[in-house]
Structure 1
Amino acid sequence: MHLIEGLLILLQLPIGLTVRFDAKPKDVNGYEGKTAKINCFLGDFIKEKHIVSWWKYDLKLSQQNEVIVFDKRISVYLDDLPYAGAYSYVLLIHDLILEDEGDYHCQIDESPIVSSGIARLTILQIPSTKYPKCKKSANTYVVGSQVKLTCISELISPPVELNWNHEGASVLPISIKTEVSDDLVYKHYTFIAKKSNNDDSFMCQQRTEVVPGIHNCSIQNLNIQYRPEVKIQHTSALFAGSDAILFCQSFANPPVTEFKWMFTPVLNVNEYIADGQVLTLIKPSIARNGTRITCLAENNIGASTDTMTVHITKEGTLEKNIYGNNNDSKNVSKTKNTTNMTEDSKGVSLYVVIIVIVLVVIIVVVVVIIPVYYHCFCKTRTATDSSGREIYQPTVYYDSRNRTSNSGLYDCSLPHLPSTGLYGHWRHSFASQVPEDLNQQGYVYIDERNGQNTL
């Protein structure tokens, strides 16, 4: 009896050892919120005899087509493959969360246990569309103070890459500090405010291997405040007895709130007019030469000054500056006279040239153009016949005609006209023709109508 039971056990052992996993399940990357699928491939598997299950570490998740853990996001099924005894055992996890990441394997729940090997499920996180965020530590900064700009994003897997840019150029990492807190990552960019940073723009760029492309946030028009920069300007030299205008030029953020003019030694109130940035010196005297004028400009940050020394020039000095000493004046006068003579000579020469040109034109017209015109248009042309002999053509010829007319005066001594029975009007015509060489014809008619001449 015991021998028979032992034989049966030996017969069963080979059958249990034939089931196998044809391949190790592959590692899977799943996106947070999406679905992950892990496969085990079985060979010589008999559903009625063998039991297969999914495990995460030491936690059994399923058995055959049933899920044995309380998690509605998990489902399993056995799928037949196109050859006998081959199956795919599929594990589906929906709405992935970070806690789903880990090692998974299939197992044949028999003795001895057969394992498929481990498949690693990695959860990839996609940054929220509301990141990155850019913040600054203050709305305004004073020159010399510390500026702190912060770029914020999520602490996810794989981690995002954050980089600061200043006016299109990358910021050196030495100026950036990374901080992690409350599932958020912070990139702090700190620097000392300079006047040149006013109105600057900064950008934080976020990259991740999960999603292609770059997302960014920015800080525009950084407000750096500084006290005024002052410079006194005037357009020309200051002359005694002539009003002079001085201008206090300033650059400041915020704008200047007050301008103040000061004098050393002090000027009388009737010697100047101060109107904000503009100072008018009223007909300064030569005695005020060397006076020091100071402009003070002040805003909410502080005040700055600029000082200039007045150099007042006599009006006569202007001519001296222009012409030099007396000898120089004489030289200048001589130069001017020479220049005037040269200009007069140029003017006379121009008139002579014009007169010569007019005379030449007149001579050409009289000597050349008129004779040619006469020769071409006024000379009598010679006419020839078909044989080439010259035909005499008179310059003037006469032709007289006598005829009657049905209009005008009637002469009763003339016979009746055949057609009307009226008396006829006798008309005698005389014509003279000029030569045809003139390309025009002229006629002179003398009519005699019943003894009355008409021209």
Structure 2
Amino acid sequence: MYTLGFGKAFGTWIYLYILILHRTYSFSGFIKEPLDENQAEGDLTYFNCIVRELDETQYVSWLHNGRKISKNGEIIIHTYAYYSIDYDSAFGTCNLRIQNVQRRDKGGYTCTVYDSNDQIVETSRTANFTVLEIPQQQYPICSSTQTSYRVGQYVVLNCISEKTTPPALLRWVHNIGGSESGLKESLTGNYGNSYSFIAKQSDNRAIYTCELTTSANPSLYRNCSIGPLDVLYPPIVRIQQTRDVILGNEAIFICYSDANPQETTFEWSFDPPISENIFVLENDIILRIKNTINRLNGTSVICTVTNSIGSGSSKFIVNVKLKEPINNVVETNSGKETKKSEKITERNENKPKNKNSNSNQQLLQTRSPNNSSTDISISLVVIIALVCIIVIIGVAMIPVGYMKYTRRQPIDTISRRRPVSIPDVYFEPRDHIDPMLPQLGLAVPWMRTVGVQVPGECEYDATYNTQVMPQPRQVYYTQRMYPASSLQ
């Protein structure tokens, strides 16, 4: 009994020793441990783990922030369903794959070896995973403190982004007249960016845009806009004259205005004042002075425009010019300019001083070059008109003459060098079949009537090879087609 008990106990100790030796020998460590990673949201990442000489009673699991999420090659928590394991027991590989990375995936990942009793045999180093956060789709968000601003008022434009790691970068740009320019760039770590300025007239209808970028995804670009801004300002006025103010002529002045909101009134005034009979207003914008008089020289014309914000005005000083004398009109001849009075004087000095020359001189002085040029132009127009009429008549006569001389006329044929006139009566060849003979009840053969251009004569030919003699038709048919016995 004692010997048997001792042998049984000894065998148990031997078994335990062998088991311990086998366990110690089976797992010898990690060939590859996971490394730290960082990846942007929505991307893909891997954690690698390879163990050496894993026993069949042992298995490998992954821990996320100390929580067991897998066993061998399977994910055991449904909230980690987008995780997957690349597991191969023969080579000891157990790689963790995370697809479509989310913010909650950040933290520590550990590759752990368990025994059959779910006791930890060995753990790898903990790999730290940093998720590069991207602002959500609704960011950036732009806002302004007011809907409209007056010139000189302080304008504040706000742009905010979600607080992320790394922080988003915000930058303001504005668009005035189709051109863009940078205004202000945010500092790293800012999750909101405000741009402030004093409103000017040029800021009206301007669009301000806040641009968002992030180092987590260099290709990402988003923006939001404020505008067009409504900047209110009083009228900006200017007066423009259509042409020089000439003594005795009509003078026209136009009042232009740029305002927001729209202009309400236009008022014209003069310094010193002038009579209302001298000028006329059209739509309150156009000023017409019918007859410019000399005392208007130096008068100040003032246009005042008003809207709901304020008023603006512009002043124009009238400069009346005298009419130029006719004999002082400058002429251009081959690029040289001379005065008419100088030309007339030069001609008078070169001509002999006699009665005829005096009369010619008076004629030259009294005749206007404009009249001579007018006479020449009228003569030239008359000549051109006559030439055009002649050409049109000639062109119209061409088809008439052509029709007259090319009309088809009866042409006599020439036979034996003698003219032969065309007869008045024509017979056309016709093919026909005579009706059945009443005596025989038989049809006669096909016949042809031949027309001959000889007046008064006509022949009949029943066939192409038979000549028909003048005789009664019944006799002809009897002799030609049927024997005498058939007529009896």
State the TM-score bracket (shorter-chain normalisation): 0.5 to 0.7
Counterpart of 1:383 (choices 390, 395, 414) is 414
Deviation at 1:248, TM superposition (A): 1.7
Aligned to 1:12: 20
Deviations 1:181-226 (A, max 9, x none): 7xxx123344554433322223333345459653332223122333
Task: Give me the identity figure in percent.
Answer: 26
User: How far apart are the structure 2 equivalents of 1:327 and 1:256?
Assistant: 53
Superposed CA RMSD in Å reads: 5.8
Say which SS state the counterpart of residue 370 (structure 2) adopts.
helix
User: How far apart are the structure 2 equivalents of 1:268 and 1:354?
Assistant: 57
Aligned to 2:223: 216
Aligned to 1:339: 373
After TM superposition, list the pairs within 5 Å mapping 1:121-270 onto structure 2.
Answer: 121-143=129-151, 147-167=155-175, 171-172=181-182, 175-178=184-187, 185-191=191-197, 193-208=199-214, 209-210=216-217, 213-236=220-243, 238=245, 245-268=252-275
Say which SS state the counterpart of residue 186 (structure 2) adopts.
strand
Deviation at 1:294, TM superposition (A): 1.4
AA in 1 matched with 2:260: N
Deviation at 1:140, TM superposition (A): 2.9
Aligned to 1:120: 128
User: How far apart are the structure 2 equivalents of 1:79 and 1:176?
Assistant: 45
User: How far apart are the structure 2 equivalents of 1:351 and 1:88?
Assistant: 107
Aligned to 2:315: 307
More divergent stretch after superposition (235-244 vs 293-302):
235-244
Taking structure 2 as the reference length, the TM-score comes to: 0.55
Deviation at 1:381, TM superposition (A): 6.7
Aligned to 2:109: 104
Instruction: Give the aligned length.
Output: 371
Counterpart of 2:297 (choices 259, 284, 289) is 289
User: How far apart are the structure 2 equivalents of 1:122 and 1:359?
Assistant: 100
AA in 1 matched with 2:186: K
Q: Is the 8 A contact 2:169 2:186 kept in 1?
A: no
CA distance 1:97–1:395, change in 2 (3 Å): closer
Q: Is the 8 A contact 2:33 2:48 kept in 1?
A: no
Deviation at 1:250, TM superposition (A): 1.0
User: How far apart are the structure 2 equivalents of 1:343 and 1:40?
Assistant: 107
User: How far apart are the structure 1 equivalents of 2:198 and 2:113?
Assistant: 67
Deviation at 1:230, TM superposition (A): 1.4
Aligned to 2:285: 277
User: How far apart are the structure 2 equivalents of 1:62 and 1:289?
Assistant: 101
AA in 1 matched with 2:262: P
Deviations 1:68-93 (A, max 9, x none): xxx99579999973429x47497999
Say which SS state the counterpart of residue 205 (structure 1) adopts.
strand
More divergent stretch after superposition (153-162 vs 72-81):
72-81
More divergent stretch after superposition (280-289 vs 151-160):
280-289
In the alignment, is residue 24 of structure 1 matched against residue 30 of structure 2?
no
Unaligned runs of 5+ in 1: 397-432, 434-455
User: How far apart are the structure 1 equivalents of 2:43 and 2:387?
Assistant: 102
CA distance 1:180–1:148, change in 2 (3 Å): farther
Taking structure 1 as the reference length, the TM-score comes to: 0.58
Deviation at 1:41, TM superposition (A): 4.0
User: How far apart are the structure 2 equivalents of 1:108 and 1:357?
Assistant: 115
CA distance 1:333–1:193, change in 2 (3 Å): farther
AA in 1 matched with 2:259: A
More divergent stretch after superposition (196-205 vs 27-36):
27-36
AA in 2 matched with 1:203: T
Q: Is the 8 A contact 1:164 1:204 kept in 2?
A: yes
Deviations 1:238-285 (A, max 9, x none): 567777553321112232344333322123455556664344547564
Deviation at 1:391, TM superposition (A): 3.9
Deviation at 1:171, TM superposition (A): 4.0
User: How far apart are the structure 2 equivalents of 1:246 and 1:352?
Assistant: 48
CA distance 1:234–1:288, change in 2 (3 Å): same
Say which SS state the counterpart of residue 274 (structure 2) adopts.
coil
Q: Is the 8 A contact 1:153 1:186 kept in 2?
A: yes
CA distance 1:77–1:334, change in 2 (3 Å): closer
Q: Is the 8 A contact 1:243 1:282 kept in 2?
A: yes
Q: Is the 8 A contact 1:230 1:306 kept in 2?
A: yes
Aligned to 1:403: none
Q: Is the 8 A contact 1:296 1:305 kept in 2?
A: yes
Say which SS state the counterpart of residue 372 (structure 2) adopts.
helix
CA distance 1:219–1:179, change in 2 (3 Å): farther
Say which SS state the counterpart of residue 287 (structure 1) adopts.
helix
